Chain A
Amino acid sequence: MTRTAPLEVRSLTKRFPIGNAFHRAHVHAVDDVSFDLPSGRITALVGESGSGKSTVARMLARLYEPSAGAVLFEGSDVSGVRRRKHVLHYRSQVQMIFQDPFGSLNPVKTVRHHVERPLRIHRVVPRAQIEERVHELLRTVGLVPPEDVAAKYPHELSGGQRQRVAIARALAVEPKVVLADEPISMLDVSIRIGILNLMLKLKEERGIAFLYVTHDLAGARYVADDILVMYAGQIVECGPIEQVLSDPLHPYTRLLLAAVPDPARKLHAQRIESRKGHASVAVDPSAGCRFVARCPLAIDICSRVTPRLVEERPPQAARCHVTAPAPERAAVPAH
C-alpha cells in the first residue's frame, strides 16, 4: 500500500532547556516521533495538554527548529533550511491553521486583505485575477456572498466565520499539506461540525494532506483516517483510526477512550482509576515506559526498559511491553 506522502517525519525530537546555570535539565517535549502525512488523508494527532502534539505541528510549520530528526518534504529534508527562497517555497506548500480565530486575524484589516496577501506574496495568480480568486476562495469555505464578506473586518464575523477566513487564507497558496492545530476547540458546539465537514470536503476535492491536532477523540474519529496518540512526547499508539479506537492496544489509549463522555452510558457505569503520579511533561526521563506510574497493566520490565513502537496488528502499532506479541501474554483483557 504505497501512497504519495508529501510530508514525512523521521525521528523528530525537540528538547527545551529549563533550569539555571547550576541545574541544567531538558524537557523532552517531543521524542523520536515518526509518521507520514499522505495526500487526501486526515491524520489525527491526539493527546492531553503537554503531550507535545502542538510542538510537533509547530516544528512541521517551521515555527520551531527540531533538536534532532528530519522533516522530509517531497523527499528532501527541510528541517535545516534557512534560505528565504526555500523557506518561502516550503511555506507555500505547508500551511497552518491555529486554534484561536480571534488572535490569528489582524483586527484592523478586512477579510480581503487577509486572503489576498498570500496570493501577492507567493505570486499565485496574476495581479488582475486576485479579486476573482479571493471571491472563489471565500466561496470554497462557505462564506457567501463573497463580495460582502470580503469587505468586513474580523470583529464583524462570528468565531466560526473567522476560522473559515483563516482556512481560506491557508488555501490561497494551494498547499499540499495543512496543519490544523485544535481548529474547533474555541468554537461553539453547533458550528464545530461545519468546520470538520469543510476539512472533509477539502480533503476529497483537493487531495490535501491534513494533520488534525486535537484532544477530542470523537471529533477525530469523525474526520480522520489515521490516528497518532501521543503521551509525554512519544507516540504510544498509531494506525487506522477505526481500528485503533474500536480495539486499542495501549493502556493509555484505553484510558482516554474511557474518559470521553459518551451519552450511551452513565458515569458510574465505567469508572476510571484516579491518576497516580505525574504525567505529560518528561524532564530528563530515565529509561522505562513513561506511562508506567498510571498503567494498570505495568509489569517489572516496564520501569526498566523503554518500549519501542511495534506493529502488533499491522498497520496498528503500540509502544507497550505488555501488549507486545509475546505469545504467553497475547490476550490482555480490557479493564
Chain B
Amino acid sequence: MTNLVQHDETTATSRSDAAALLQVRRLVVEYGVGAKLARAVDGVDLAIRRGEIIGLAGESGCGKTTIANAVMQILRPPARIAGGRILFEGEDLLGKSTEELRRFRWRNVSMVLQSAMNALNPVMRVGDQFVDAMRAHQRIDRRRTVARTGELLELVGIDRRRARAYPHELSGGMRQRVIIALALALDPQLIIMDEPTTALDVVVQREILQQIQDLQQELGFAVLFITHDLSLLLEFADRIAIMYAGEIVETGPAERLGVNPQHPYTQGLLNSFPPLSGPLTRLTGIPGSPPDLRNPPSGCRFNPRCPHCLPDEPILYLRQTTERPLLRVVESGHEVACHLVAGAPE
C-alpha cells in the first residue's frame, strides 16, 4: 500500500526537457482516510510539450480523470494531493492562492468534459455563456466579447447566429462543439479533454476529432486527451500514456505503442479491440478485473491479471509480486514499467 520502493530519480520523465509546458512529478492523490484510504494516483510522472496531443488511456477507475482534476486544481474533498508537484511553465500550481488559480484556469488551461449536455446552462443562451466565461477571466468589454463569440462559433463550424440558441436547441455534437469553442475562448496553451467524444455517435465523433486536430494545427495549443478507447488514440495522439490502477505503466509515441507494445497490460488492451478489416482471430481480452485501490496487490499491480506472472519461475515471480516495477526507457521516448522488460543501457 505504501510506497515501499523509492522512485529512481534518474527515470527519463524527470529528466525530460524543461521546455515542457506542463510537468507532473510524482503526483499522489488520495481519497478517504484510514482503512478506506485509496490512492487513485500513485506517483505519476507526465510531461506535456507545447503543441502536442498526448493521450491518457486506461480503464474506468484507473485515475485518468483524477489527474485531469489535479492539474486543473479542482479536486474536492475527500480527494487531496498527498505528494508531488504540478509545474506549469516551470511554476508550481500547488500552493497558489485561489485568486491566482482563478486567473490560471481557462486562460492557461481549459477543460472539455464528456457530458456537454450538462456543462452548458440550460436556461441561458449559448452566446451569453461565452460572455460570462470571458468576463469572469479577463477584462474585456461586452461588445468585444459578442464579436469574439461569433468568431469562436465559426471556428468550430457553427453559424454565429446560433449564439442566440438555447442548449436544448442544439444536437449533442453541436453542443460538444460549443464546449470546445468555449474552451478556446481565452487562447489557452493547454486543453484537457476528458472523454470528449464518448457520448457521441461514431460519425459525429470522427467529425469532432478532425475539428480538434485542425484547430490544434492552426492555433498550436497542446491537448491532454483522456479516453478509455485506445484504438482512437492510436490514430489521433502524438504520444500515449497507459494507466493502470493509479500508475502509468507504459508511455511512448503512438505509432510505436500501436505496433510494439511492451507492457502486458497494453498488449492486453490492444488485444481487446477486434479489427475492422483483415483476418479475425478469437481474442482473449484481459481476464479478471481492475484491483480495488484501497487494497492494491503488492509488487506490480497488474500481477494478478498478468499472463506472464507465474509461480513456475520463483525468482521472477517473487519480484513481480513484491517489488514495484519502475518506468524504464526501452528506447528513446518509450518507457515501460515491467519486470519482464529490460531497460536500455544507461
User: What's the minimum C-beta distance from B153 to chain A, rounded to whole angstroms?
Assistant: 15
Residue in contact with A189 in the complex, picked from B201, B210, B230, B258, CB distance below 8 Å? B230
Task: Assess the B206–A259 pair: CB atoms within 8 A.
Answer: yes
Residue in contact with A48 in the complex, picked from B201, B207, B234, B272, CB distance below 8 Å? B201
0/1 string, A113-152, CB within 8 A of B gives 1: 0000000000000000000000000000000000000000
User: What's the minimum C-beta distance from A218 to chain B, rounded to whole angstroms?
Assistant: 5
Task: Assess the B59–A189 pair: CB atoms within 8 A.
Answer: yes
Known: A259-B202, A272-B206. A193 touches B276 (CB 8 A): no
0/1 string, A272-290, CB within 8 A of B gives 1: 1011001000000000000
Task: Assess the A193–B272 pair: CB atoms within 8 A.
Answer: yes
User: What's the minimum C-beta distance from A12 to chain B, rounded to whole angstroms?
Assistant: 23
Q: B119-127, B281-289, B313-321, B338-346: which lies at the A interface?
A: B281-289
0/1 string, A240-278, CB within 8 A of B gives 1: 000001100000000111111111111110011011001
Does chain A have a CB within 8 A of B332?
no
User: Which residues on the A side are within 8 Å of B157 (C-beta)?
Assistant: 274
Does chain B have a CB within 8 A of A67?
no
Most chain B CB neighbours (cut-off 10 Å) among A260, A261, A275: A261
User: Which residues on the A side are within 8 Å of B271 (C-beta)?
Assistant: 193
Does chain B have a CB within 8 A of A49?
yes
Task: Assess the A262–B290 pair: CB atoms within 8 A.
Answer: no
CA distance A195 to B284 in the complex (A): 10
Task: Assess the A256–B60 pair: CB atoms within 8 A.
Answer: no
Does chain B have a CB within 8 A of A312?
no
User: What's the minimum C-beta distance from A270 to chain B, rounded to whole angstroms?
Assistant: 9
Task: Assess the A263–B274 pair: CB atoms within 8 A.
Answer: no
Does chain A have a CB within 8 A of B129?
no
Task: Assess the B209–A267 pair: CB atoms within 8 A.
Answer: yes
Task: Assess the B277–A190 pair: CB atoms within 8 A.
Answer: no
Interface residues of A in 202-218 (CB under 8 A from B): 215, 217-218
Task: Assess the A275–B276 pair: CB atoms within 8 A.
Answer: no
Q: Which secondary structure characterizes the binding site on chain A? A: helix
User: Which residues on the A side are within 8 Å of B210 (C-beta)?
Assistant: 267-268, 271-272, 274
Interface residues of B in 144-175 (CB under 8 A from A): 157, 171, 173
Task: Assess the A191–B286 pair: CB atoms within 8 A.
Answer: yes
User: Which residues on the B side are within 8 Å of A256 (C-beta)?
Assistant: 202-203
The chain A residue with its CB closest to the CB of B214 is A268
Known: A190-B269, A191-B285, A222-B280. A48 touches B171 (CB 8 A): no
Task: Assess the A217–B276 pair: CB atoms within 8 A.
Answer: yes
The chain A residue with its CB closest to the CB of B201 is A48
User: Which residues on the B side are within 8 Å of A158 (C-beta)?
Assistant: 289
Residue in contact with B277 in the complex, picked from A197, A219, A246, A274, CB distance below 8 Å? A246
Residue in contact with B203 in the complex, picked from A48, A193, A265, A268, CB distance below 8 Å? A48
Does chain B have a CB within 8 A of A194?
yes
User: What's the minimum C-beta distance from B241 to chain A, rounded to whole angstroms?
Assistant: 16
Residue in contact with B228 in the complex, picked from A188, A215, A245, CB distance below 8 Å? A188
CA distance A200 to B205 in the complex (A): 29
Interface size range of chain A in the complex: 35 or more
The number of A-B residue pairs with CB atoms under 8 Å apart is 116
User: Which residues on the A side are within 8 Å of B273 (C-beta)?
Assistant: 189, 218, 263
Does chain B have a CB within 8 A of A160?
yes
CA distance A275 to B287 in the complex (A): 40
CA distance A190 to B273 in the complex (A): 9
CA distance A222 to B203 in the complex (A): 20
User: Which residues on the B side are within 8 Å of A194 (C-beta)?
Assistant: 285, 287
User: Which residues on the A side are within 8 Å of B276 (C-beta)?
Assistant: 217-218, 221, 245, 257, 260, 262
Does chain B have a CB within 8 A of A58?
no
Does chain A have a CB within 8 A of B229?
yes
Task: Assess the A219–B231 pair: CB atoms within 8 A.
Answer: no
Interface residues of B in 193-243 (CB under 8 A from A): 201-207, 209-210, 213, 228-232, 234-236
Does chain A have a CB within 8 A of B268?
yes
CA distance A263 to B235 in the complex (A): 5
Known: A267-B235, A272-B207, A275-B207. A222 touches B274 (CB 8 A): yes
Does chain B have a CB within 8 A of A192?
yes
Task: Assess the B275–A260 pair: CB atoms within 8 A.
Answer: no
The chain A residue with its CB closest to the CB of B61 is A188
0/1 string, B172-203, CB within 8 A of A gives 1: 01000000000000000000000000000111
Task: Assess the B201–A160 pair: CB atoms within 8 A.
Answer: no
Task: Assess the B171–A263 pair: CB atoms within 8 A.
Answer: no
Residue in contact with B289 in the complex, picked from A160, A255, A258, CB distance below 8 Å? A160
Lowest 5 A-B CB distances belong to which pairs?
A: A193-B285, A222-B274, A263-B234, A48-B201, A190-B286
Residues of A within 8 A of B (CB): 48-49, 158, 160-161, 188-194, 196-197, 215, 217-219, 221-222, 245-246, 255-268, 271-272, 274-275, 278
Since A263-B231, A263-B258, A267-B210 are in contact, a sample of 17 more A-B pairs with Cβ atoms closer than 8 Å, ordered by chain A residue number, is A48-B201, A188-B59, A188-B228, A189-B229, A189-B230, A197-B285, A218-B276, A245-B277, A246-B277, A257-B276, A259-B203, A259-B206, A267-B209, A267-B213, A271-B210, A272-B206, A272-B210
Sample of 26 A–B contacts (CB below 8 Å) = A48-B203, A188-B290, A190-B268, A190-B286, A193-B283, A194-B287, A197-B283, A215-B201, A217-B276, A218-B231, A218-B273, A245-B277, A260-B276, A261-B232, A262-B275, A263-B231, A263-B258, A265-B235, A267-B209, A267-B235, A268-B213, A271-B210, A272-B206, A272-B207, A275-B173, A275-B204
